[in-house]
Amino acid sequence: MTNLSDYQQVLTPNYGLPPTIIVKGQGCELFGQTGERYLDLAGGIAVSALGHCHPDVIEALTQQANKVWHLSNVLANEPAIELAKALVACTFADRVFFCNSGAEANEAAIKAARKTAFDLHGPEKHEIIAFNDAFHGRTIGTITAGGQPKYRVGFGPMPAGFTHLPFNDCNALNTQISEKTCAVMVEPIQGEGGVRPICPTFFEKIRTACDRVGAALIVDEVQTGMGRTGELFAYQHSDITPDILTSAKSLGCGFPIGAMLCQEWISEHLIAGTHGSTYGGNPLGTAIAARALEIINTPELLSNVVARGQQLIQGLNQLNEKYGLFKTIRGKGLLIGAVLKDEYDGRAGELSALTMQEGLMTLVAGPRVHRFAPPLIISKVEIDEALDRLDRAYAQFNKQA
Ligand SMILES: *Cc1c(COP(=O)(O)O)cnc(C)c1O
């Protein structure tokens, strides 16, 4: 039987050793090699929005698999056009660029903003403002944009022209932003950075400041998008209109696809030859994402996200009354973080390991946040079961503490 010591032999060691091997998923359940069952509150890190092996998604995949998988961007295909039309119809965007991951979507966003500023104002206007603790991906460009210096160590030199500011700090933003700024890049909820929501007034300040200096507002919705927070995209909780938005993760519900959505004043600078991707917009990925979008962007699904999110937060608060582990429980919809008290700082990983022992997959977001990002189709009964398992895991943690 394929085992984890084979994993250690043949895969690069950049992920550390996973706790188990999974062979099957169904709905919100995962099954290991010996049939052991896990309830999935991790969702493949906010990816498996429709759970595992959703019949409609399988149907979209197999139907398209029997037609054509790949064409390159020399040729057009129907699913890509249909998905772009659907995304344009339900967002601020005028146009869509397809790629294969979140990092690639952010690379496209950075390049689009730079090119727009270059064409309109010249090479001086190239500064990208991003925020401390932000996460935008693992390419050289996106670790530079990201606000976690540890991801940059050993990979220098980094590209120039990126500035990092404290998140949710209006004064720092107003002091730094200038005519040289070509874009401000921000997550509506910092996902990897600890499930930290943007303050609504800060979000508005960014929009106003961008307008003042002619910079593009890039909203990274790779984690918060596709229904995760109870709206199709998290910016839709506000009155703010992005210039550029990036999506991936739940966009393909497990099939690798990313997208950069933007307004016409940006896209008109991405003239033929300026950017590209061999696989981007391939018919297989776009057919799957188009079907997923149809299912996710419905009142039934989105109201389930809100209701299940409230149920989970309420349950976590009750568990916290019992065990007193957390100083705050935050997030929106089904992206939730429970922030450990200072005395438990650094021990979030122990919590997720303990839930696994109770048959429950959970995530961390840094060393002090226990994170939950379940499939958006999760049921009331499944959340109740998850809370029972969390109860046992937290009790165990308390014993060890
Ligand atoms: C996961 C994530 C990314 C990177 O996506 P990949 O598909 O891993 O490249 C970028 N931004 C945010 C906010 C993310 O959560």
Query: How do residues 59-90 score in pLDDT, each as one tens digit?
Result: 999 999 999 999 999 999 999 999 999 999 99
Report whether residue 103 contacts ligand 1, using a CB cutoff of 6 Å.
Answer: yes
Residue 136 Cα to ligand 1 middle (Å)? 5
**If you average pLDDT over every residue of the chain, what do you get?**
97
**Two tokens, residue 384:** 């109740």
- 106 CA closest ligand 1 atom index: 10
Number of H helices, E strands in the chain: 13, 17
pLDDT surpasses 90 at 218: yes
Report whether residue 135 contacts ligand 1, using a CB cutoff of 6 Å.
Answer: yes
**Residue 361, CA atoms < 13 Å, CB-side half-sphere:** 26
* Residue 371: φ, ψ to 5°: -110, 145
Distances from the Cα of 170 to the Cαs of 127, 165, 173, 180, 181, in angstroms?
18, 10, 5, 18, 16
Report whether residue 221 contacts ligand 1, using a CB cutoff of 6 Å.
Answer: no
Residue 378 Cα to ligand 1 middle (Å)? 23
pLDDT surpasses 80 at 401: no
Query: How do residues 261-314 score in pLDDT, each as one tens digit?
Result: 999 999 999 999 999 999 999 999 999 999 999 999 999 999 999 999 999 999
Q: What SS3 class is residue 255?
A: coil
Q: What is the pLDDT of residue 287?
A: 98
Contact at 8 Å (CB) between 284 and 313?
Answer: no
- 248 CA closest ligand 1 atom index: 7
Residue 137 Cα to ligand 1 middle (Å)? 5
Report whether residue 191 contacts ligand 1, using a CB cutoff of 6 Å.
Answer: yes
Taking the CB of residue 294, how many other CB atoms lie within 10 A of it? 13
Query: How do residues 91-101 score in pLDDT, each as one tens digit?
Result: 999 999 999 99
Spell out the domain ranges in the chain: 4-54+299-400, 68-296
pTM for this predicted structure? 0.98
Pairing label, strands 181-186, 127-131: parallel
Contact at 8 Å (CB) between 352 and 393?
Answer: no
Q: What is the pLDDT of residue 359?
A: 98
Report whether residue 222 contacts ligand 1, using a CB cutoff of 6 Å.
Answer: yes
Query: How do residues 315-333 score in pLDDT, each as one tens digit?
Result: 999 999 999 999 999 999 9
Tell me, what DSSP letter sits at residue 157?
P
**Mean pLDDT, residues 339-357 taken together:** 97
Please, which residues have CB within 8 angstroms of residue 32's CB and are 6 or more apart in sequence?
A: 20, 21, 22, 23, 38
Residue 249 Cα to ligand 1 middle (Å)? 7
- Fold topology of 68-296: Aspartate Aminotransferase; domain 2 (3.40.640)
- 187 CA closest ligand 1 atom index: 13
**Mean pLDDT, residues 362-379 taken together:** 98
In terms of Cα–Cα distance, which of 45, 31, 98, 70 is closest to 283? 70
Q: What is the pLDDT of residue 400?
A: 85
Q: What is the pLDDT of residue 137?
A: 98
Report whether residue 101 contacts ligand 1, using a CB cutoff of 6 Å.
Answer: yes
**Mean pLDDT, residues 191-220 taken together:** 98
Tell me, what DSSP letter sits at residue 109?
H
Question: How far is it, in rounded angstroms, from Cα 134 to Cα 185?
Answer: 9
Contact at 8 Å (CB) between 225 and 247?
Answer: yes
Task: Specify whether domain 4-54+299-400 bears CATH 3.30.465.10.
Answer: no
Please, which residues have CB within 8 angstroms of residue 153's CB and are 6 or more apart in sequence?
A: none
Name the pLDDT band for 180 (thresholds 50, 70, 90). very high
Report whether residue 192 contacts ligand 1, using a CB cutoff of 6 Å.
Answer: yes
pLDDT surpasses 90 at 1: no
